Amino acid sequence: MPILQIVFSNFDLKIFNILLISMAVISNTALIYLLFKRPVKYAYTFSFIFFLFLINFWGLPKIIINSGFFNYNLYVHLDKISSFGYIFIPSVFIYFTFSFIGKIRLLAKPIPGMAVFLVPFIFLFLSWNTNLIEKRGQADIVNNSWGYESPAGDFFGIFLVWFETLMVISMLMLHKLYKTSLDPIKKRQSLWIFVAVFIPLLVGTITDGVFPLFGRHVFPMAIPLTSIMALIVGYAIYKFDLFEPSPNNILSSIGDGVITINTDRKITFINRSAKTILKIKNSLIGSTFDKAIYFTDQFRNKKPILNSPVTEVINTIKQLKSDQYCLSYKNRKPIPVSVTLNPIKTNQQLIGASITFKDISYEKELEKNKDDFISIASHELRTPLTSLQLFNQLLLKDLEKKKDNKLQNYSIQIQNQLGRLTKLTTDLLDTSRISTNGLSYYKKQFDLNQLIKETIENLQQANLGQKIVYEFGADSKVYGDKERIAQVLINLITNALKYSHSSKKIIVKTKIQNNYTKISVQDFGRGIKKSMQSKIFQRYFRNIEDPSQSGFGLGLYISSQIISNHQGKMWVESKIDRGSTFYFTLPTA
């Protein structure tokens, strides 16, 4: 005799059973409500709702059966309804599992599909027609303290095998998904469902299946334990969006390429657009990023770049954005992309990174056409500029001899304007060559202080109104392209002169720090607004609030590009009406 029967009277146990089943029905119903309330419902959401619905179908009649109100005919009908519930549970649950793990196609095939949903009808027919109730009679039912199970009549054993087989297949599939999925969200979801369903399944199989099969009756726990299942699932829905598809399903259908990787740089997900952009046909899940797919530089070299941005994001755990990279798949022609890399974190812990990208071949093509045009145009302009300048020089010399001051002045004006024109074409040419990687550098060791001194002397002659002073640190031999560094200095100092008319002083300083030299150009002019400070190094930046500004807005862009080619940095510190200090660094030779 089961232990419970010693402690409780039959009546107590029936009440207890009613309470537990009611709780289960209520919590399952609450869960059904919760699932219906989800903004988007998927095939597996509906199959899980149906699964819960069947559990209630199984449980509700039992409340009445155990209530003490006994009517033989009513009992028979309720029992038939109840059996409808549990007979279809494994079919619906395996349908749920298949659609949850994304293999619903297997069940859509005629044979397994028919088998899963037609076999239960056979059991239902058997259950309704060979009902044990009719065989055992009234007395037996009354004697059984916690209600009476009539599991598919005489075929209960076979039904149990069927039930357990489908459930075990489902559980194994969930377990396999948990073990093998590289998508951390899907992994967690499958674990939660596994645990939630496993509890009532295991205990229920023993109390409601194995014991009755051998003619023993213990307190049936299957239905009561579904309330725990409902609680777990409900908790997981609130906490982890359990029934939301892994975002991967959504990401699959968006227009941008999306690849996610784990911290070992193994590809965990790759969406359809990514495959289309990179012309990938096979899966690639599990292969290493930077091997199968890799970043190359913007000039479409086929070699992977040395410092992969992926490694950078994983190491720094910071977002990285760029449209200067290409993506290449297996030595194919690299595709220029605009890419954003983001670290993926759960509970403060880094679990991988996402790589989102757009094909910008067309934009790059346009940009290249523009650069080519600028390059050719500025190049072509320089030849007539040269002869203009030279002829003007001849003219000026002649006018000097003839002491014609008026015409001489005109000629000087022409000369100045030709100088401006030259500067503009130089900037354009430099810019177009920076963006096509055509700007070449001739680097060697040189004396930086000497270069600064010479540059200042030249500029001082032309700007007698403002005083340029220098304060040098220790002798500084740096490694770089002397002409280009001079270009940077000229740019910074002329800017300083231009934007600090009212003040009379510009200070140029050098300072050796560790293994680089820091150069600063300080003025006491009008200063730069905080919001502008990051923008001034951009290509074609022009301050629209300052109509007096002339030129293309390329000087600082070119300078910063030159410095970055020298492995240096360029930045600005500035306060309105106090002046600006531009800094750049160069590696000490």
Question: Where does this chain bind another protein (CB under 8 A)?
Answer: 379-380, 382-387, 389-391, 393-394, 418, 422, 426, 429-430, 439-442, 483
Instruction: Pick between residue 149 and residue 371 the one whose CB is nearest to another protein.
Output: 371
Residue 267 pairs with which residues in a beta bridge? 261
Instruction: Pick between residue 252 and residue 415 the one whose CB is nearest to another protein.
Output: 415
Query: What is d(CA 443, CA 431) in angstroms, rounded to the nearest whole number?
Result: 19
Instruction: Pick between residue 349 and residue 440 the one whose CB is nearest to another protein.
Output: 440
Report residue 409 as tokens: 């002045």
Query: What is d(CA 458, CA 452) in angstroms, rounded to the nearest whole number?
Result: 10
Instruction: Pick between residue 246 and residue 378 the one whose CB is nearest to another protein.
Output: 378
The nearest distance, CB 394 to another protein, in angstroms, is: 6
Report residue 155 as tokens: 């075929």
Dihedral, 91, 93, 99, 100 alpha carbons, nearest 10: -170
Reduce the DSSP state of residue 582 to 3 states and report it: strand
Report residue 204 as tokens: 């229920």
Instruction: Pick between residue 246 and residue 432 the one whose CB is nearest to another protein.
Output: 432
Report residue 484 as tokens: 């280009």
Instruction: Pick between residue 36 and residue 441 the one whose CB is nearest to another protein.
Output: 441
Query: What is d(CA 573, CA 15) in angstroms, rounded to the nearest whole number?
Result: 79
Query: What is d(CA 512, CA 178) in angstroms, rounded to the nearest whole number?
Result: 57
Instruction: Pick between residue 76 and residue 381 the one whose CB is nearest to another protein.
Output: 381
Instruction: Pick between residue 238 and residue 441 the one whose CB is nearest to another protein.
Output: 441
- Decide if 342 contacts 353 (C-beta within 8 A): yes
The nearest distance, CB 571 to another protein, in angstroms, is: 26
Query: What is d(CA 553, CA 575) in angstroms, rounded to the nearest whole number?
Result: 21
Write out the H or E segment, with its range, that includes residue 583: strand 579-587
Reduce the DSSP state of residue 386 to 3 states and report it: helix
Instruction: Pick between residue 273 and residue 392 the one whose CB is nearest to another protein.
Output: 392
Residue 42 exposure: Cα atoms within 13 Å on the Cβ side: 17
Phi, psi angles (nearest 5°) of residue 325:
-110, 160
Q: Is the dihedral of CA 12, 15, 17, 20 positive or negative?
A: negative
What CA–CA distances, in Å, run from 221 to 144, 211, 228, 353? Answer: 16, 12, 11, 45
What CA–CA distances, in Å, run from 319 to 247, 312, 335? Answer: 19, 9, 21
The nearest distance, CB 486 to another protein, in angstroms, is: 12
Report residue 217 as tokens: 């009756």
The nearest distance, CB 382 to another protein, in angstroms, is: 4
The nearest distance, CB 275 to another protein, in angstroms, is: 42
Q: Is the dihedral of CA 50, 52, 58, 63 positive or negative?
A: negative
Query: What is d(CA 98, CA 423) in angstroms, rounded to the nearest whole number?
Result: 69
Q: Is the dihedral of CA 64, 67, 73, 75 positive or negative?
A: positive
Instruction: Pick between residue 249 and residue 415 the one whose CB is nearest to another protein.
Output: 415
Instruction: Pick between residue 206 and residue 394 the one whose CB is nearest to another protein.
Output: 394
Query: What is d(CA 197, CA 171) in angstroms, rounded to the nearest whole number?
Result: 8
Instruction: Pick between residue 26 and residue 390 the one whose CB is nearest to another protein.
Output: 390
Residue 150 exposure: Cα atoms within 13 Å on the Cβ side: 29
Instruction: Pick between residue 370 and residue 379 the one whose CB is nearest to another protein.
Output: 379
The 3-state secondary structure of 281-312, one letter per residue: CCCCCCCECCCCEEEEECCCCCCCCCCCHHHH
Instruction: Pick between residue 344 and residue 554 the one whose CB is nearest to another protein.
Output: 554
Query: What is d(CA 155, CA 158) in angstroms, rounded to the nearest whole number?
Result: 5
What CA–CA distances, in Å, run from 397 to 391, 405, 407, 455? Answer: 10, 12, 11, 27
Phi, psi angles (nearest 5°) of residue 158:
-65, -40
Reduce the DSSP state of residue 145 to 3 states and report it: coil
The nearest distance, CB 423 to another protein, in angstroms, is: 10
Query: What is d(CA 5, CA 179) in angstroms, rounded to the nearest whole number?
Result: 42
